[in-house]
Every structure is written in structure tokens, then in C-alpha cells.
């Protein structure tokens, strides 16, 4: 699936800023880029259009030999993270060119992808917002249980995908229609209204919509 251009960054945390009418806006601060283009693919040679970008400087001991050779083609050093972004049309970017937060503008809508905060093993009330069992006579030690999981005479089994207790969080998550509140190119910062997935210092991908 083709996407619009994107940039990699890390979530620094949340703060608030005051806009022109004096109201306070909660926003997430993301340090994004500069992300050099490591590889360019087009439909003629690779069967599809895409660019591969990198982010986060890395030491030589943390990068294996094949990736070192791959990064040398761009001549921008070694990096911790790479992402490939598929495009509808042939990319106009060149290997070694850098993407910065200048590609975004205040008021623009973006979508942010990250890994949600892991919350370990959780019950159905926290994980799926179940209401639990009644706290009345006849209910003993079942107040936070899911109740029947439907495996009686029919269908005689538990359906695959049944909402039950289990591991919560630590999943790839995308939030759409987030507004860019401010872009501070000199600091490589982009401020986005509201919350974005992931913990502090978590890797995020900010994409145009």
C-alpha cells in the first residue's frame, strides 16, 4: 500500500503551549530527523516505488558488516533504524538527500505510528473494557471475570479471537488526523496536538495524510 512521505523520530514527551487566543493546547514533542535517504527504489528496477530512510546515529560495533556496506553508499554514516516508505509515483529523492521537519507545516494533519506502551498480562476489564460480573448475592470471587465464553452445547468450542485476559500493549499502533501545532526546524522538533503511541524516547514514524 502506497504511502505519502514520512520521517522517523523519537517521542520526547508531552507539554503544553499557549496559542494566539490564550488557550492551552496539550501536545507531544517529537525530535524528528534529519533522516538521510539510504536507498531509492522504482517500479522499473524493483517492481514498486519506495525510499528507505534512516535515523539515529550508531556506533560501528552495533552495525553488522552487510548494513555497514549498505550505509556507505549514502555516505551519511551509520544508523540504528531504517524504514522503507512505499510511494505511488517514482520518488524524486536521491540517495544521500536528507528529510527534515521542514516537510511539515503548522495546521497540517499527520498520522503517527509507534509501539504502544506494554502493560503486561491484564484481565478483561482493563484490556477490553468489560463491565465485570454483578457485585450482588450469589456472586463470589467472580466480580472481575469475563463470564461465559460460549463453549457450551453450541458451538462446543471457544471462537478464535475471543476477547479474553492476556498480554496488553506493546503493539504497533497508528493514530490518524493529528494536527501539527508547531515546527521548530532549528531544533529538529515537531509539536503534535494530543498524544501519540509509545513511551518517552520511543521510535515513531510521522507520515503525511
pLDDT in tens, 114-172: 999 999 999 999 999 999 999 999 999 999 999 988 878 788 889 999 999 999 999 99
> CA 63, CA 102: separation in Å to the nearest integer?
29
pTM to 2 decimal places: 0.86
**pLDDT tens digit string along 82-111?**
999 998 888 888 898 999 999 999 999 999
Percent of the chain with pLDDT over 90: 81
CATH architecture of 34-98: 2-Layer Sandwich (3.30)
Reported confidence tier of residue 6, pLDDT bands at 50, 70, 90: very high
pLDDT at 3 over 80: no
Coil, helix or strand at residue 88: coil
> CA 78, CA 58: separation in Å to the nearest integer?
5
Q: Any bridge partners for residue 183, and if so which? A: 190
Backbone φ and ψ for 21, nearest 5 degrees, come out as -85, 5
pLDDT for position 91: 83
Reported confidence tier of residue 22, pLDDT bands at 50, 70, 90: confident
Percent of the chain with pLDDT over 70: 99
pLDDT at 2 over 70: no
Straight-line distance from the first to the last Cα atom of the chain, in angstroms, rounded to the nearest whole number = 13
State whether CATH 3.40.640.10 applies to domain 1-33+100-131+164-209: no
pLDDT for position 31: 96
> CA 154, CA 21: separation in Å to the nearest integer?
60
pLDDT for position 124: 97
Nearest to 108 by CA among 54, 1, 181: 181
pLDDT for position 81: 95
Cβ atoms of 54 and 81 within 8 Å: the answer is yes
> CA 23, CA 122: separation in Å to the nearest integer?
37
Q: In this structure, how many other beta carbons lie within 10 angstroms of the beta carbon of residue 183?
A: 19
Give the domain ranges of the chain.
Answer: 1-33+100-131+164-209, 34-98
Amino acid at each position: 500500500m502506497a504511502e505519502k512521505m514520512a520521517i522517523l523520530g523519537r517521542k520526547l514527551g508531552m507539554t503544553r503551549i499557549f496559542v494566539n487566543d490564550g488557550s492551552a493546547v496539550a501536545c507531544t514533542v517529537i525530535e524528528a530527523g534529519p533522516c538521510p535517504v539510504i536507498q531509492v527504489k522504482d517500479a522499473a528496477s524493483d517492481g514498486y516505488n519506495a525510499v528507505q530512510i534512516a535515523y539515529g546515529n550508531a556506533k560501528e560495533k552495533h552495525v553488522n558488516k552487510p548494513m555497514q556496506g549498505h550505509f556507505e553508499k549514502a555516505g551519511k554514516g551509520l544508523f540504528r533504524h531504517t524504514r522503507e516508505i512505499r510511494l505511488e509515483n517514482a520518488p524524486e529523492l536521491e540517495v544521500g538527500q536528507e528529510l527534515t521537519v521542514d516537510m511539515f507545516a503548522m495546521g497540517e494533519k499527520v498520522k503517527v505510528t509507534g509501539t504502544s506502551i506494554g502493560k503486561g498480562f491484564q484481565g478483561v476489564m482493563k484490556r477490553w473494557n468489560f463491565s465485570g460480573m454483578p457485585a450482588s448475592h450469589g456472586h463470589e470471587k467472580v466480580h472481575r471475570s469475563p463470564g461465559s465464553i460460549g463453549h457450551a452445547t453450541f458451538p462446543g468450542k471457544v471462537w478464535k479471537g475471543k476477547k479474553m485476559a492476556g498480554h496488553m500493549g506493546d503493539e504497533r499502533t497508528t493514530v490518524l488526523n493529528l494536527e501539527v501545532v508547531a515546527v521548530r526546524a532549528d531544533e529538529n522538533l515537531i509539536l503534535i496536538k494530543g498524544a501519540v503511541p509509545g513511551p518517552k524516547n520511543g521510535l515513531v514514524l510521522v507520515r503525511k495524510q
